[in-house]
Amino acid sequence: VALLSGGLKGFRSQSKKSISVTGMAEKEITSDLIVWKITVNAEGSTRSSAFTEFEKAARVMRQYLQTHGIPEKEITMSSVDISKRTKDFWDEDSRKYVTLENGYSVSQTFTVSSNELKRVEGVYQRISELYNSGMDFSSEKPLYYYTKLNDLKMEMLNQASANAYERAQTIAKGSDSKVGSIVSSTMGVFQIVGLNSDEDYSWGGTFNTSDKEKKASITIRATYSPR
């Protein structure tokens, strides 16, 4: 019993002797994929007339994109959506609002996905030219992605681990000790925010898609035994 008691005391004593640190790594990255969505709309008094108008508008949009250097392989299209339009008006006789059918609307979303960011940005900036032709469409702000996230994460994990070890060495030196073997290591938050932005970091991780230039960061929590 005495031996067992002494062993437990020794175990507790050793378990308290540890150096816990948080290592961090940051890297500026440039997006390598741009995704831009444009929705083409058309209306008509009948289903067929609405679809005919839509086909004309969709053809003009497709030709415009290809003429300005966006190949067909970089364009995908959603299924065509056709829906009834309604109009409400106040009926004096019945003293209530009455809903009547008011033709049909047709829409389809064109999605441009490309690694040629500058080319797509140029077309995005000029797309308003089509409004002069009377087309009804909406253009969303492009989204920017970095496609090599797995490689980036592995690279930064290595850097964060090295940073954690350096911090542990600084702490050990200040307490007249040395860093021994690693006891545990846990990856913290990996996130990407806009470069030079006021975007907040989040404990759940933030993945910015609105900025082309970004900053990636990762943390790692490590515990070392002193020697």
DSSP, residue by residue, 145-191: E-S-HHHHHHHHHHHHHHHHHHHHHHHHHHTT--EEEEEEEEEEEEE
27 against 205, higher pLDDT: 27
Q: Under a CB-based contact definition with an 8 Å cutoff, are residues 32 and 77 in contact?
A: no
Q: What whole-number percentage of the chain has pLDDT above 70?
A: 89
Give the pLDDT confidence of 102-155 residue by residue, as tens digits: 899 999 999 999 999 999 999 999 999 998 888 999 999 999 999 999 999 999
Q: Residue 1 above 50 pLDDT?
A: no
Mean pLDDT is lowest, of 109-118, 152-161, 202-211, for: 202-211
Q: What is the full DSSP assignment across 186-208? A: EEEEEEEEETT--PPP-TT--B-
